[in-house]
Structure 1
Amino acid sequence: MDTVTFGMGCFWGPETRFGYHSGILRTRVGYAGGKEGQPTSKNTFDYTEVLQVQFNAELLSLEQIVNQFFKQHNTTRAPRSMKYRSLLLFENEEQKSEMLQKLEEIKHIHGNSYTSVEPLHSFYEADLHHQKYYLQRWKPVYEKWQELHVEKESLVESTLAARLNGLSKGCGSLEELMQEFPDSAYDSLWSVIREVRENSKEQSEDMCRLD
């Protein structure tokens, strides 16, 4: 299991788009890349909102994740603040090399990029109400998930919660979830999803897919 951390604006959206993919095991949002104090949602100091994903490198490569990082947001536009800057954080030389190589390709294509590549020194997990933000707002589904996961995995640790968070914004499909989680104990959850999924998808599959 490998881990990679990156910032690409507000962390709610990226967690939905990356979390739905079968190669991703866990997701959590938080703050990294700063040096002043201990960040919170009320005061992030010089830290950046980031998404941290744990993934199975046999199913999903770091290259695919970094490619999607650049695909999903405009890195040629200056960020509004340190909090929402474009940031790739490496934990080892392999990650550093992959990130820098892709950054150079982007600069060659577009002329410039505001993405920073830096070492990961520390990660501060965001408050629970920021984790799987859109799943928590998908009330009937979230309540059913809670009912099925009493005293089991936490919202941060749950792979299913990551998938549901993606599905809440139109990433992936119920059929894919049912294949990945075939346990009949989830039948009631699938029924709730069918009942509430009558609205059109808010995201395109192209934005969700990890090529």
Structure 2
Amino acid sequence: MFSPDRLTTYDANAPTDTATATFGLGCFWGPDAAAGAIDGVVRTRVGYAGGTTLDPTYETIGDHTEVVQIEYDPNTTSFSDLLDWAFSQHHPPTQPDKRQYQNVVFTETSTQREQLRRFIDASEWTEAQIETRLERLDAFTLAEEYHQKFQLRGTRWITDAFEEAGYDTAAVRDSPAAAKLNAHAAGHDVTFPGLQQSYEPGR
């Protein structure tokens, strides 16, 4: 059994001085898990952004796009590093027709906008060649709880540990440990205390 103490200890020691980056990269389950494997990423959440429809939900998403929002430790990784990751996750000169699954890079600050400009200037594409939407983040709406940490939800030995540790669904969503273990459940390589010793195939 994976010790619940490892979850609470990991979360208690997580960095508190974080910055935020938000990306649309297709169905949000995949990038939510992939982002959790990045060194310096503290927590992840999925939701809706980029549209004008009020109070979007999965069933009434309107003109919004599925996105992953990443909290990261600026002392370990940077917005530029995350841009490199985000652009590696899709083909910038193309764009899905369905707005719900389009590729979007959101910026929240003038510093992020400048970093994005520099990234594109140094890339193999001109801005005219890039179909990826480049937008300012006006609002972010959390997706329903059943979309949060989707890969983790199907991995019983992980969910059992969170339940034993007393986490409710919102706490799991915002847990730094859950971000890492969601990545692990999706098959990404992650470093987490006691992970290899605790894995129980078939559970």
SS at match of 1:31: strand
Structure 1, unaligned runs of 5 or more = 179-186, 199-211
Q: How does 1:51-130 map to 2 (within 5 A)?
A: 51-106=68-123, 108=125, 112-130=129-147
- For the Cα contact (< 8 Å) 1:12–1:134, is it kept in 2? yes
Amino acid at match of 2:99: M
RMSD: 2.4
| CA offset digits 1:130-163 (Å, max 9, x no partner) | 0000000112322222212446970221000000
Q: Report the alpha carbon displacement of residue 194 of structure 1 after superposing the two structures with TM.
A: 1.8
- For the Cα contact (< 8 Å) 2:61–2:100, is it kept in 1? yes
Q: Report the alpha carbon displacement of residue 43 of structure 1 after superposing the two structures with TM.
A: 1.4
How many residue pairs get matched?
186
Q: In structure 2, what is the Cα distance between the partners aligned to 1:135 and 1:17?
A: 12
The percent of aligned pairs where both chains have the same amino acid is 29
- For the Cα contact (< 8 Å) 1:106–1:112, is it kept in 2? no
Amino acid at match of 2:20: T
Deviates more, 1:55-64 or 1:69-78: 69-78
Deviates more, 1:109-118 or 1:60-69: 109-118
- For the Cα contact (< 8 Å) 2:162–2:172, is it kept in 1? no
SS at match of 1:196: coil
Between Structure 1 and Structure 2, the one with more helix by share is 1
Q: In structure 1, what is the Cα distance between the partners aligned to 2:202 and 2:31?
A: 21
- 1:208 is matched with which residue? none
Residue 192 of structure 2, aligned match among 162, 173, 177: 177
Q: Report the alpha carbon displacement of residue 2 of structure 1 after superposing the two structures with TM.
A: 0.5
CA pair 190-144 structure 1, distance change in 2 beyond 3 A:
farther
SS at match of 1:35: coil
| CA offset digits 1:148-197 (Å, max 9, x no partner) | 24469702210000000000112124xx201xxxxxxxx6x765x42127
Q: In structure 1, what is the Cα distance between the partners aligned to 2:46 and 2:167?
A: 22
CA pair 122-157 structure 1, distance change in 2 beyond 3 A:
same
Structure 2, unaligned runs of 5 or more = 1-17
TM-score, with structure 2 as normaliser: 0.82
Task: With a CA cutoff of 8 Å and minimum separation of 6, indicate the structure with the bigger relative contact order.
Answer: 2
CA pair 58-167 structure 1, distance change in 2 beyond 3 A:
same
**1:166 aligned onto 2:171:** no
Q: In structure 1, what is the Cα distance between the partners aligned to 2:59 and 2:43?
A: 25
- 1:196 is matched with which residue? 201
Q: In structure 1, what is the Cα distance between the partners aligned to 2:107 and 2:121?
A: 16
Amino acid at match of 1:72: Q
TM-score, with structure 1 as normaliser: 0.80
Q: In structure 1, what is the Cα distance between the partners aligned to 2:72 and 2:159?
A: 23
Amino acid at match of 1:166: A
**1:10 aligned onto 2:27:** yes
Q: In structure 2, what is the Cα distance between the partners aligned to 1:123 and 1:151?
A: 22
Q: In structure 2, what is the Cα distance between the partners aligned to 1:149 and 1:109?
A: 50
